[in-house]
Amino acid sequence: MSKLKICGLKTKADVEIINETQPDYCGFIVDYPKSRRSLEPNEACRLAANVLETVKKVAVFVDEPMEKVIKTMASFDMAQLHGKESESYIEELKRKTSKPVIKAVIPKDATDVEYFCKTKADYLLFDAGKGEGRAFDWEILKNVRSSRKYFLAGGLNEENIGSALDTLDPYAIDISSGVESDGKKDYAKIKRITEFLRNNQERGNNDDGF
């Protein structure tokens, strides 16, 4: 069953929520002023250091210089690239950090999806846009081969996550604004979604096939 990534952590309180609910991944947006969730690199590293080891820490970058990304990645488990980074950039980052890379993309149709699946990144993240909090047509992802692991993002929340998982089988789902209230991470919402996914996984593990 799908794993869970909570993205856009910004405060100590957010980290405490993550440590309590323990999703599979958590994300910090690094030095992207257009996002209200952006953090200076040093602050992102400081907060990430307080996340439990059982939760993978993802640093999110948008068209940042390679040297800056490599330095920041010393404090993180994975890099997420949300800009126009080239395949050569992705390969160099993987080689120099030995850490997995997620490449975020915004598909318009199934042809886009097929093209994006050729990336050298370890994972894809299909999104509607940078932090726009809206969904897109999930049907265009139906033919993604099972060997291509991807994160599903874009407008996911308690109301539509079940429908998304009925339609697709993503490696993980990525949620930010969908687990917020008044612009802040909401413990109760995150707790309910983590429990929903774990309950689904348990039901899947107990399925006898009849």
Q: Tokens standing for 122? A: 């370890």
Give me the catalytic one of 7, 26, 31, 45: 7
Strands (E), 50-122: 56-61, 78-81, 101-105
The most distant pair of C-alpha atoms in the chain lies apart, rounded to whole Å, by 54
**Calpha distance 179→158 (Å, rounded):** 8
Question: How far, CA to CA in Å, does 196 sit from each of 78, 96, 170, 188?
Answer: 25, 37, 15, 12
Q: Are 105 and 85 in contact (CB under 8 A)?
A: no
67 contacts: CB under 8 Å, gap ≥ 6: none
Instruction: Cite the beta strand spans of the chain per DSSP E.
Output: 3-6, 25-29, 56-61, 78-81, 101-105, 123-126, 150-152, 172-175, 180-181, 184-185
**Active-site residue, from 122, 127, 169, 174:** 127
Known catalytic residue at 45:
no
Q: The tokens of 189 are what? A: 């919402």
d(CA 204, CA 207): 5
**Could you give the residue numbers annotated as active site?**
7, 127
